[in-house]
Copies of this chain bind each other. A is one copy, B any other.
Amino acid sequence: MKQPIMVGLLGLGTVGGGTLRILQNRVEDIAQRLGRPVQVKKVLVRNLQKPRPVVVDPALLTDNPADILEDPEISIVVELMGGIHPALDYIKSALKAGKNVVTANKDLMAVHGRELFELADAKELDLEFEASVAGGIPIIRPLKVCLTANRIEELKGIINGTTNFILTKMTQEGSDFGEVLKEAQALGYAEADPTADVEGLDAARKLAILASIAFNSRITLNDVYVEGITKVTARDIQYARQMGYTIKLLGIAKEIEGKVEARVHPAMIPDCHPLAAVNDAFNAIFVKGDAVGETMFYGRGAGDMPTGSAVVGDIIDVARNIINGHTGRISCTCYHQKPVRPIGEIVCKYFLRLVVTEKPGVLASIAGVFGDQGVSIQTLIQQETIGDSAEIVLVTHPVQEDNLQKALNILSDMPIVERVGSVIRVERG
C-alpha cells in the first residue's frame, strides 16, 4: 500500500469526535476508494488529560498547534474548533505552509471567506467547508458543481435545528416560546446560552455562506438582516394554522434585478410548501433555479456524526485531489460583485397583530394610516374584543418594508393603538 495522506485535526469536541470516529471506522473503505490510506497524524486539543467521547491513542494528542501546522508530512489540516480566534490564524498558517484545509467553521467562512480563499488560490490549495452549513446535508458542492447551469433565483432554508425544534414543538403543543426553550435545553437541543440560535445569528452565518455561492457574489454576515424567534407566540402560530400556514425560521436569499437580498427571520409559509413539513431538529434548503426549477436538500443539520460525515466527505475529496496533483481545482466562486438590497427595500406580505382600544372607528383610522403609506390590506382575519381592547389581525398585500415600517411607526404613536403585537413576513412559497 502506498504512503498514507496525513491529516491533522484541530479540535476534538463534538464534531472532532465524530470526524475521528468516522475516519477510524472507514479506514479500509477510504483506502480502497482512493488507492491510498488517509491517516490522522495529530490532534490538537486544549487539555491533554480531558476524557474524550471517542477512543484515541494518547500519542496522537498534542496541545501545541505547531505539531500540526509545521509538520511537513501533514497535507490536510481539518479545523473543527469553531469561533474566529485562534481558528483564523491557524487556518492562515496552514494555507501559508502549503497545506489544504477542511473546515466546519461557519463563523469564519461567513466573515473571512474572501481572505482565506485568496490565500488558498495563491497556492492552488483546496479549502473545503461543506460541514459549515446544514451539517451532513450536501449543499455547498451541489450549489458549486451540480447546479451551475442555473441562474439561482432564490434559496430558502431551515438552517438552524434548535429553532426548528422549538417552533415544531410550539406548533404541535400550542406552547409558548419560553416553555419550549426550557424543554429544548433539558433535551440538549438548545444551549445554556441560546442567543446565537434563537436570535437567528447562527442561521445568518450559514445564509451568508450559501448566498455567496448561490449568487456568485460575496455576502458576509453584516449583509444579512437578522431577526430571531423570541417574539413568536403560540397565538401567531394558531392564526398561521388557521390560514393554512406554518411558521418557520427561514434564511432567505434572492436575486431580484441584480440585487441580492439576504435575511433571516420567522416567516409564514404555506403548508403545502416542502419546507413546511421539515420538523424537529431537521434542516432543509430549498433552491429554485431558472432551469432546474424547485429542488430541496433535507437532513440533519447538526450532531457529531452528520457533521462528521460532511467533514470526512471533504477530506476524501481533498485527498483525491492531492493524489492526482490537482488541488485548488474549484476555488472561490464569487466572480461577481452584486449590490445587497437593504431590508427596507424588500417587498413582501406581512401578517400583523395589533392591540387597539375598543371604540367605534378604530379600524377606519388604522386603515387610513395604512392607505396613506401605500399599505393595502389583503385579508382582515380577525377583529376580536378582549375586555376594553380589541385585537386586529390582518395580512397585507405585498408592500415595500420601508412603507410598512413607516405605517407601523405612525400607528405606534397613536393613542388608540395599545401595541403592535406581531409583525411576521408571509412568504409565497
Residues of A within 8 A of B (CB): 18, 22, 25-26, 29-30, 32-33, 130, 136-138, 141-142, 145-151, 216, 274, 277, 289-300, 303, 305-306, 308-313, 315-317, 320-321, 324-326, 329-330, 333, 335-336
Contacts and interface: CB of A to CB of B under 8 A. Distances in A.
Contacts of A321: 329
Copies of this chain, complex-wide, total: 2
Nearest to A317: B145
A187 B298 CA distance: 30
A149 B297 contact: no
Contacts of A306: 291-293
A313 B145 contact: yes
B138 A309 contact: no
Contacts of A146: 130, 138, 141-142, 310, 313
A316 B149 contact: yes
Given A299-B292, A305-B291, A306-B292, A148 B329 contact: no
Contacts of A292: 136-137, 299-300, 305-306, 309-310
10 contacts: A22-B149, A138-B138, A141-B145, A142-B146, A146-B310, A148-B317, A149-B308, A149-B309, A292-B310, A293-B303
Given A148-B33, A149-B26, A310-B146, A295 B299 contact: yes
Contacts of A25: 290
A335 B277 CA distance: 38
Contact of A299 (B294, B299, B310, B324): B294
A309 B335 contact: no
Contact of A291 (B137, B309, B336): B309
A294 B289 contact: no
A316 to B, nearest CB: 5
Given A293-B300, A298-B298, A138 B149 contact: no
A324 B324 CA distance: 12
Contacts of A311: 149
Contacts of A130: 146
Contacts of A30: 148
A324 B325 CA distance: 10
A303 B216 CA distance: 26
Given A25-B290, A136-B292, A289-B309, 19 more contacts: A22-B291, A32-B336, A33-B216, A33-B333, A33-B335, A136-B291, A138-B142, A141-B146, A142-B142, A148-B313, A149-B308, A291-B306, A291-B312, A292-B300, A293-B303, A293-B306, A295-B300, A296-B299, A320-B330
